[in-house]
Each structure stands twice: as structure tokens, then as C-alpha cells.
């Protein structure tokens, strides 16, 4: 049996007829940049995230960049964030000349809110928690810290569309929520895409201005030197179509996780329990195991593709040498990086395939 980690090809097979019609409609309209599909998408996202505003952008990375830029983050400033995220969460801070200040994570892979305050200095300009794997951080405590020190909260929601914490939506807790629509995300474009949510009208207007060179609506006056970070009308149209199935697909992912947990030998595998206050959307299904690399090779031989998110923490990357972090600075992050393994979780998996994966993993640990 051959089981891919993701299955975009099968997604296209199911959607082909609709996508070809969408492509034809958008291209024949002549509205390739901007248009009604953008407006529909932004209104839809604001509604499902329970925020007042949404701004569509070119990528999740751009959403983070524009949010930090809008807040005035610059050279000499500091931004608090975890070291176990995708590199973009740190790169955007560095590109603006600021310093990433890392805080270790908890067993569930999310930033340890109890360690944030000790990292706050006069230079701290933002706190940026990352909702990794589709599981939200403890946002009530993080928001309270932000209020206490008057520090804005930027949620990195790249992996957490429709996730909830204490019944409140991802992207609605902080000053800004930054989302990705990369092809591997639960709500995926057929190319790059991103968007930003906020309840603050001033932030909304500033981001809209920054995404189009900083030009005003007349396009004759540049208020601020901005960026080119527009979502094109075609990607918005595709996302509008896929939004209709988003809740269903997330429920399938949640069902897949339950089936995994009912069939894996949990004495050999650690998976953070979903707490009663959480609603996790499982962008990824990450287990923590001993002999991770050997297991990954064993699964590959049996036709099962897996991934590691992420094998080298950001503070130990070559690009981070100038920050002077070292092995041992973030014990939990470093420990997890040697144990985490991401299993297939996409909505096109069959129960037969999941059962095969579980039996193969269980068999591996019976042998070692």
C-alpha cells in the first residue's frame, strides 16, 4: 500500500470540474487583480473568524510582515515568539531589523505562557504566539500579559483556521491574526495566499494601504512606502469555493485523529490530549515517539510517507548563529525536535489506510 503524506492530486481530481469553471469565469471577467471575489472572501473570513475585518494578502508570511510593520517594529526592537515554528515566524522579525526573543514551549508544542513575562524588556514591541498544528495557545493568559505591559499580540494563525480556544476563534484574540492559504493548509489556495484579521479599524485601514504600495484609493498619492501583497482574484475565487467544504473537511480530520488514537498503542506514543477548552483543527497530526528516525525509515519502506515539523529548532539554524543561542537553551523544544513525527491526516485518507498506518507503527514497537 502506498500512502502519501498529502494528497493535493486527489483534491484536484475531486474539484477539477469546479476549478476549471472558476478559472474560466475569472479570466474571462478581466478582473485578475482585485474584484468581487476578493470582497466576498474578506467578508466570509471576517464572519467565520468572528472579527470585524479581514484583509486578503499574498501569503501568511506577508501577513506577519505587514502586521509587524504596521506596529512600527524596527531595528533594535524585540519580538517574543517560540523557537519551534516554521522559519517564517522568525524571518519576518529579522527582516524588519528586530530581534526574535524565544520562549520555550509546553508538551503540546505551543508557547509556554508562564515563561513569557520573564523575557519582556523595554525593547519588547510584540508578542507573537504560534498556534502550531491547529491547536491554539492559552490565549486568555497571553492577552492578559499583553494588556499588563501594553504590548500588542500578533497571533500566528497560519495553521489554525477555525480553531477555537474557550469558544473564541483563532485570529480573534489578539490585535491581529495572521493566516496562510498555502496549498498544504486546511483552507488552501492553488498557489500562495494569506490573510489578516482584526477588530481594529485603524489597523485594517493601515494594512489595506500597505498591501498596495502604500498608495491611497486615487493611486496618485503614496501615503507610506508599502509592499505589493495582494491576493489575486483567481486565488480568492478558489478559496471561496473551498470555504464551502472547510467545516466538513476539518470534521473529517478530527474523525481521522480519533480513529488513529483508537488504534495506536498509546503506551509507545505520546500525543497531547485535546483539552475541553480546545477545538483543534489538525493542520498536522504530530505524535512524539522514541526511535523517531528509525520509525520514519520503517514507515517509508512500508509505503507510508511522513514528515517532521520541524527537525531543527529555529534557534539552532545556521541563520540564527548571530543570536548566540546554543544547545540546551530551550530544553522542551530541543527534546521534541528529536521525537516529533507527522502522520498523514488529510481528508482523503480511508479508514483502511489509517488502520494500516497504525498496525505498521504498532508492529515496529513490538519489534524494538
Residue 217 pLDDT grade (very low, low, confident, very high; cuts 50, 70, 90) = confident
What are 4-23's pLDDT values in tens digits? 999 999 999 999 999 999 99
d(CA 140, CA 150): 15
d(CA 260, CA 233): 38
Among the ranges given (8-22, 66-80, 218-232), the one the predictor scored with the smallest mean pLDDT: 218-232
309-338: string of b/e by CB count within 10 Å (b at 16+)?
Answer: bbeebbbbeeebeebebeeebbebbbebbe
Residue 283 pLDDT grade (very low, low, confident, very high; cuts 50, 70, 90) = very high
pTM for this prediction: 0.97
pLDDT at position 367: 81
Cβ neighbors of 163 (< 8 A, separation 6 or more) are 131, 134, 135, 136, 157, 169, 170, 278, 279, 280, 281
pLDDT mean across residues, the chain: 96
pLDDT at position 224: 85
Q: Which domains are present in the chain? A: 8-243 (3.40.640.10), 246-367 (3.90.1150.10)
Q: Which residue has the cell 527537525?
A: 311
> What average pLDDT does this structure show over 301-319?
98
From the number of C-beta atoms within 10 Å of its C-beta (0-12, 13-18, 19+), residue 353 rates as: middle
What are 106-165's pLDDT values in tens digits? 999 999 999 999 999 999 999 999 999 999 999 999 999 999 999 999 999 999 999 999
Amino acid at each position: 500500500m502506498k500512502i502519501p503524506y498529502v494528497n493535493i492530486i486527489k483534491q484536484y481530481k475531486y474539484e477539477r470540474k469546479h476549478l476549471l469553471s472558476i478559472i474560466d469565469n475569472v479570466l474571462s471577467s478581466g478582473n485578475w487583480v482585485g474584484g468581487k471575489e476578493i470582497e466576498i472572501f474578506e467578508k466570509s473570513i471576517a464572519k467565520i473568524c468572528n472579527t470585524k475585518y479581514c484583509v486578503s494578502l499574498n501569503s501568511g508570511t506577508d501577513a506577519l510582515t505587514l502586521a509587524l510593520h504596521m506596529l512600527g517594529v524596527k531595528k533594535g526592537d524585540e519580538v517574543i515568539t517560540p523557537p519551534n515554528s516554521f522559519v517564517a515566524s522568525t524571518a519576518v522579525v529579522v527582516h524588519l531589523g528586530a530581534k526574535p526573543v524565544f520562549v520555550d514551549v509546553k508538551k503540546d508544542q505551543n508557547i509556554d505562557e508562564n515563561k513569557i513575562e520573564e523575557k519582556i524588556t523595554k525593547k519588547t514591541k510584540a508578542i507573537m504566539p504560534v498556534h502550531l498544528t491547529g491547536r491554539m495557545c492559552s490565549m486568555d493568559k497571553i492577552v492578559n500579559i499583553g494588556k499588563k505591559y501594553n504590548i500588542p499580540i500578533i497571533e500566528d494563525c497560519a495553521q489554525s483556521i477555525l480553531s477555537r480556544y474557550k469558544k473564541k476563534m483563532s485570529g480573534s484574540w489578539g490585535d491581529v491574526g495572521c493566516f496562510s492559504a498555502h496549498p498544504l493548509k486546511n483552507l488552501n489556495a492553488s498557489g500562495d495566499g494569506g490573510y489578516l484579521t482584526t477588530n481594529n479599524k485603524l489597523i485594517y485601514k493601515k494594512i489595506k494601504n500597505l498591501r498596495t504600495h502604500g498608495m491611497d484609493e486615487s493611486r496618485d498619492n503614496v501615503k507610506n512606502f508599502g509592499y505589493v501583497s495582494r491576493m489575486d482574484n483567481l486565488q480568492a475565487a478558489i478559496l471561496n469555493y473551498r470555504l464551502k467544504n472547510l467545516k466538513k473537511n476539518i470534521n473529517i480530520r478530527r474523525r481521522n485523529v480519533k480513529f488513529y488514537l483508537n488504534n495506536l498503542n498509546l503506551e509507545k506514543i505520546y500525543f497531547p490530549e485535546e483539552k475541553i477548552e480546545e477545538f483543534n483543527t489538525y493542520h498536522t497530526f504530530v505524535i512524539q515517539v522514541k526511535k523517531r528516525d528509525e520509525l520514519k525509515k520503517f514507515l517509508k519502506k512500508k509505503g507510508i510517507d511522513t514528515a517532521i515539523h520541524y527537525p531543527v529548532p529555529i534557534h539552532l539554524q545556521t541563520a540564527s548563529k548571530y543570536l548566540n543561542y546554543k544547545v540546551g537553551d530551550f530544553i522542551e523544544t530541543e527534546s521534541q525536535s528529536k521525537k516529533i513525527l507527522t502522520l498523514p491526516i488529510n481528508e482523503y485518507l480511508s479508514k483502511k489506510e489509517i488502520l494500516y498506518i497504525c498496525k505498521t507503527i504498532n508492529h515496529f514497537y513490538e519489534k524494538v
